[in-house]
Amino acid sequence: MNSFNPQEDFAASRDAMVERQLIARGIRDEAVLAAMRAVPRHAFVAPELRPFAYSDTPLPIANEQTISQPYIVARMIEAANVHEGDRVLEVGTGSGYAAAVLARIAAHVITIERDPELADSARATLASLGVTNVDVRCADGTLGWPAAAPFDVIVAAASGPVVPDAWREQLAIGGRIVMPVGGRHVGQRLMKLTRIACNRTDEQDLGLVYFVPLTGAQGWPQTPDV
């Protein structure tokens, strides 16, 4: 678990990150920009990485995972068009940073992480920051969380071969899914699906991305074929 010192503010670094990395690249959603200014990314990385917390790059966390580049976090949340009052499902908690950003905008976030160590660390970090509207679950995120469905937004921090059927079924009418889709390591596209009606979705290709594989029953196998 990270040892977080609330006196380490880094407010100027967050402001610079928002101006140079987000606004300069076209992020315009004021709620997203405000959330990115408010959430202390340095609280979600190891102490030795805090000087780099607001750099324009992903950073390593435990168990060979990463905390996503700030721009990617902002881009996905903006694409999902998250509103006040929305119920959000996030798949791939990792450090918990994106869940904390989502929680500044949405009413409630359920975030699912397969790795128990990462889930426990994220839960502890969010609690240390006083975030009360995020529930961290340790489970197979490709199956969603049917007990809390329907969701207004589903976002994934890992790339699957297709959008899981479970997510489509758990999405509210008018709800949005934003996730990378494509090869296990190459050819991934960031996709946005909007559920127009029970059996109808609108799909948008938001461009080339690279994410770790989404593993699980409706994703990639845990151990790839060799």
Q: What is the pLDDT of residues 61-107, one digit of tens each?
A: 998 889 999 999 999 999 999 999 999 999 999 999 999 999 999 99
CA angle 24, 44, 170 (to 5 degrees): 80
Which residues span the domain enclosing 49? 11-209
CATH number at residue 176: 3.40.50.150
Cβ neighbours, 10 Å, residue 164:
25
User: What pLDDT sits at residue 169?
Assistant: 96
Tell me the two tokens of residue 192: 């946005």
Kindly state whether residue 225 falls inside one of the protein's structural domains: no
**Total of domains in the chain:** 1
Annotated catalytic residue: which of 68, 95, 121, 159? Answer: 68
| Mean pLDDT, the chain, whole residue set | 94
Q: Is the pLDDT of residue 4 over 80?
A: no
Cα–Cα distances in angstroms (integers) from residue 214 to residues 36, 105, 140, in the given order: 25, 25, 10
Kindly state whether residue 3 falls inside one of the protein's structural domains: no
User: What pLDDT sits at residue 225?
Assistant: 52
Tell me the two tokens of residue 16: 């610079």
Q: Is 68 an active-site residue?
A: yes
The CA-to-CA distance between both ends of the chain, in Å, stands at 34
pTM, to two decimals: 0.93
Report the C-alpha gap between 119 and 216 in whole angstroms: 16
Cβ neighbours, 10 Å, residue 218:
18
State the pairing for strand pair 66-67/59-60: antiparallel
Kindly state whether residue 5 falls inside one of the protein's structural domains: no
